[in-house]
Chains A and B, each alone.
Chain A
Amino acid sequence: MNIGVFVCHCGSNIAGTVDTVAVAKAALAYPEVVFATDTMYACSEPGQAGIIEAVQKYELDGVVVASCTPRMHEATFRRTVERAGLNRYMFEMANIREHVSWIGKDKDANTNKAAELVHIAVEKLRRNTELTAGEFTINKRVMVIGGGVAGIQAALDCADGGLEVVLVEREPSIGGKMSKLDKTFPTVDCSSCILGPRMVDIAQNPNITLYTLSEVESVDGFVGNFDVKVRRKAAYVDWTLCTGCGECAAKCPSKKTPDRFNEFIGKTTAINIPFPQAIPKKASINAAACLMLTKGKCGACVKACPAGAIQFKQEDEIVTEQVGAVIVATGYDLFDFTQYGEYGGGRYPDVITSMQYERLLSASGPTEGHIKRPSDGKEPKDIVFIQCVGSRDKSIGRPYCSGFCCMYTAKQTILTKDHLPESQSYVFYMDIRSPGKGYDEFIRRAMEEYGARYIRGRVSAIQPKNGRYLIKGVNTLMGDQVEIEADLVVLAVGAEAAKGAPQLAEKLRISYDTYGFYMEGHPKLKPVETNTAGIYLAGSCQGPKDIPSSVAQGGAAASKVLGLFSKDKLASDPQVSSVSLQRCIGCAKCQSVCPFGAIEMTQFRGMTKASVIATVCQGCGNCTSACPQGAIQLSHFTDNQILAEVHALCPY
């Protein structure tokens, strides 16, 4: 085998702390290496051309590129060697940037280490075989999990692209956080006016199957062919019959039911339609509050319902959907501020969250859009907003910025002035983050035109005083302590990962960060992909995002799915396991550990042998490790290859 080695400078990224020339020289000493050189930017046009030229000139059979992480450019270079006429799997990468030049300062040590990483790549490559990708058919249906604005956008774009869409939402209605907002920055247009029609589109689009009050139970399969089990939770109402007339709610005597949709400001009935624009507009019963379901007596709704839709005996139902791709758009949840004792820890009725304030502002909210204090229903005059509550605070494990709260706080001060011209808003902030288009201008408008008084500094305490609250804090611009007497305090609570996000991630086999936000495939180049093929992300499940960005991601994820589905068949990764019939003793240990059911036990000349279904195998290698005979080997990660790598590093 003739192997060529290319050691990339990546400008000074690598060459700054690795002697690339020395690495190339060392490589020449490795077995079967016939050519080695350093190159300025291996991935660039001339860099790739250099590889192709060398392959042809030196009749190379395999190529090692020592450069960045394979996550960055493995696919690029596989295409390069293919263009040079080689099999694309006759290629290995040595990661001498992320794993060497960027983390070590000692040039000698780095150079030595880089050379050794090249050595193991060479040893592995020597044992590679040419592989050809198989093909498998794909199921061109897509599931969108989460019906917030990001999920809605993704679902509609996919449906418009001709795909069948299954939209799964765990609340009774789609709409997500946006459906709770009054007006939205930076245009201050009414949230339901722009979201409402899109929600109706979801209901009316024949390509979309909508499951609300539903959650994903399990996910099996792989890209192109996922089997997803969805749990449709009991609504205790037959939605095929319910017309959404609302008679039931009007009659329901359980009127003190906590109102989730209204962020627990005000009460609702045990049976209800969460809000007038809900999609689907169907009633559901809160089992914990229903007198019938808890105490066995009532049934007022049954009498009221003209459609006969109430069904106390309804149970959760599991449906299985087959889809080829999944878009996750499960959004975010809000930080529970009660752990901040200095803000009253939830004890003060007029210290509320920003989302509760949205409900107070909203014409469809519990106060019909009148700003009233929850404690006594009085109109507030002085209102204090506190930003960064539960964001940018390492001490509570939330060092990140929630991104949109600066903006919505400014919006809320503007709306406050519109609602209550006599009021005065005060905003405590650490700094203002408003990098979007027109955003900083928006913040300035809140200050300059609407007279919101911004105080740079934190609040140390909120204390009740004569029916109002004394807010004590600092003004760091002047370096003095300040006090404000206010009627209402609104906390700009930060965003955190949606409840249950890690559990869902585990079902989907995608990764999440320390805070539970989902990991994108690459922070810059794969913002809506995950590292699991066929699973995409949209909206604030990946990290806090405002509406424009969430919508953009919804569209981007949809276009990724449409791109994936533009082919009728997908190429499978040929780096799969295969069985040596001579060695296999038919013990089926491999089958028992294969997570994908990719191994069948078959009969061969009267003997039981394992056999791998190549299109199902995902290449994890669990079987290879489990086999007592070394009979089943994962190609390109065979025992021999890995041991050769070990030997390269530990030669004694």
Chain B
Amino acid sequence: MPATTLTNSYDAAFVAEVRRESEQNLALCYQCGNCTAGCPVSFAYDFPVNQIMYLVQTGRKMEALTSHAIWLCASCETCTTRCPNDIDVARVMDVLRHMARRENLVAEHSIHAFWNSFLSSVERYGRVFELGLMASYIGKTGRVLTDADLAPVALRKGKLTFKPHDIHGVAEVRDIFKRYREHRS
């Protein structure tokens, strides 16, 4: 690992942006590690969540946004609940994902693909159409065997249907997506 040159590693714009979007001030973080201590997914992270917070605090944008951790986060809110400085850590994780997505820095493609599939299902039908979602996800990732073992069980139990649960107001939902995209561009 090359040495980090602190005099130019601090990206002030990045720090400000995270702060604005998350409404959290990472200068308050004193690296106690409480967030990581309780994080259930930490074992799968490349950076434990306290280090992610540290990267934000010290303005190390690329490392933060290209991390896998921000995608693996299960949004369980344990970190937020436990932070002694009342930092909404899970929200910061969310915001980092938002930023990484916008900047095309997604490190976990399958998770991102799953979310995209999920949201397109919502956009299309107003509610989630689980089979359609799976099909779309498999199409995006090529992961043919994903949960293939579960489908027969779920079908037998009547938990999956072949028909989407579309709603009358689906147009309204699509408009939400449309206006949201306009708003963000």
In-complex A–B contact (CB below 8 Å): yes
Task: Tell whether, in the assembled complex, residue B5 and residue A484 are in contact, meaning their CB atoms are under 8 Å apart.
Answer: yes
CA of A137 to CA of B2 in the docked complex: distance in angstroms? 75
Q: How far is the CB of A486 from chain B (nearest CB, A)?
A: 8
Task: Tell whether, in the assembled complex, residue A477 and residue B3 are in contact, meaning their CB atoms are under 8 Å apart.
Answer: no
Task: Tell whether, in the assembled complex, residue A485 and residue B28 are in contact, meaning their CB atoms are under 8 Å apart.
Answer: no
| B104 interfacial by beta-carbon distance below 8 Å | no
Q: How far is the CB of B137 from chain A (nearest CB, A)?
A: 34
| A247 interfacial by beta-carbon distance below 8 Å | no
Task: Tell whether, in the assembled complex, residue B28 and residue A480 are in contact, meaning their CB atoms are under 8 Å apart.
Answer: no
| B185 interfacial by beta-carbon distance below 8 Å | no
| A263 interfacial by beta-carbon distance below 8 Å | no
CA of A453 to CA of B28 in the docked complex: distance in angstroms? 12
Chain B residue contacts of A485, Cβ below 8 A: 5, 7
B8 nearest in chain A by CB position: A485
Task: Tell whether, in the assembled complex, residue A453 and residue B6 are in contact, meaning their CB atoms are under 8 Å apart.
Answer: yes
CA of A287 to CA of B1 in the docked complex: distance in angstroms? 57
Q: How far is the CB of B57 from chain A (nearest CB, A)?
A: 9
B33 nearest in chain A by CB position: A477
**Per-position contact with A for B23-54: 1 when CB-CB < 8 Å, else 0?**
00101101100000000000000000001001
Q: How far is the CB of B89 from chain A (nearest CB, A)?
A: 16
Q: How far is the CB of A314 from chain B (nearest CB, A)?
A: 55
Task: Tell whether, in the assembled complex, residue B4 and residue A483 are in contact, meaning their CB atoms are under 8 Å apart.
Answer: yes
Among A348-356, A444-452, A491-499, A621-629, which stretch is in contact with chain B? Answer: A444-452
Task: Tell whether, in the assembled complex, residue A478 and residue B51 are in contact, meaning their CB atoms are under 8 Å apart.
Answer: yes
CA of A448 to CA of B26 in the docked complex: distance in angstroms? 9
Task: Tell whether, in the assembled complex, residue B27 and residue A483 are in contact, meaning their CB atoms are under 8 Å apart.
Answer: no
CA of A444 to CA of B27 in the docked complex: distance in angstroms? 9
CA of A482 to CA of B7 in the docked complex: distance in angstroms? 10
A382 nearest in chain B by CB position: B7
Q: A453-B58, A477-B51, A477-B54 are in contact. Are A482 and B30 (CB under 8 A)?
A: no
CA of A426 to CA of B31 in the docked complex: distance in angstroms? 17
Q: How far is the CB of A425 from chain B (nearest CB, A)?
A: 11
Q: How far is the CB of B1 from chain A (nearest CB, A)?
A: 5
| A99 interfacial by beta-carbon distance below 8 Å | no
- Contacts of A471-529 to chain B: CB distance below 8 A: 472, 475, 477-478, 480-486
* Chain A: interface size category: 20 to 34
CA of A587 to CA of B115 in the docked complex: distance in angstroms? 105
| A455 interfacial by beta-carbon distance below 8 Å | yes
B10 nearest in chain A by CB position: A453
B55 nearest in chain A by CB position: A478
Q: Which of B2, B6, B51, B55 contacts A426 (CB 8 A)?
A: B6
Task: Tell whether, in the assembled complex, residue B3 and residue A480 are in contact, meaning their CB atoms are under 8 Å apart.
Answer: yes
CA of A477 to CA of B49 in the docked complex: distance in angstroms? 12
Chain A residue contacts of B1, Cβ below 8 A: 480-481
Chain B residue contacts of A486, Cβ below 8 A: 7
Chain A residue contacts of B58, Cβ below 8 A: 453
CA of A635 to CA of B118 in the docked complex: distance in angstroms? 96
B30 nearest in chain A by CB position: A444
A384 nearest in chain B by CB position: B6
Chain A residue contacts of B10, Cβ below 8 A: 453
Chain B residue contacts of A447, Cβ below 8 A: 27, 30
Chain A residue contacts of B3, Cβ below 8 A: 472, 480-483
Task: Tell whether, in the assembled complex, residue B5 and residue A475 are in contact, meaning their CB atoms are under 8 Å apart.
Answer: no
CA of A102 to CA of B158 in the docked complex: distance in angstroms? 72
CA of A237 to CA of B27 in the docked complex: distance in angstroms? 56
CA of A426 to CA of B4 in the docked complex: distance in angstroms? 14
Which of A382, A477, A481 neighbours the largest number of chain B CB atoms within 10 Å of its CB? A477
19 contacts between A and B (CB under 8 A): A444-B30, A447-B27, A453-B10, A477-B51, A477-B54, A480-B1, A480-B3, A481-B3, A481-B4, A482-B3, A482-B5, A483-B3, A483-B5, A483-B6, A483-B7, A484-B6, A484-B7, A485-B5, A486-B7
Q: Which residues of A contact B (CB under 8 A)?
A: 382, 424, 426, 444, 447-448, 451, 453, 455-456, 472, 475, 477-478, 480-486
Closest A-B pairs by Cβ, 4 of them: A481-B3, A448-B27, A484-B6, A483-B3
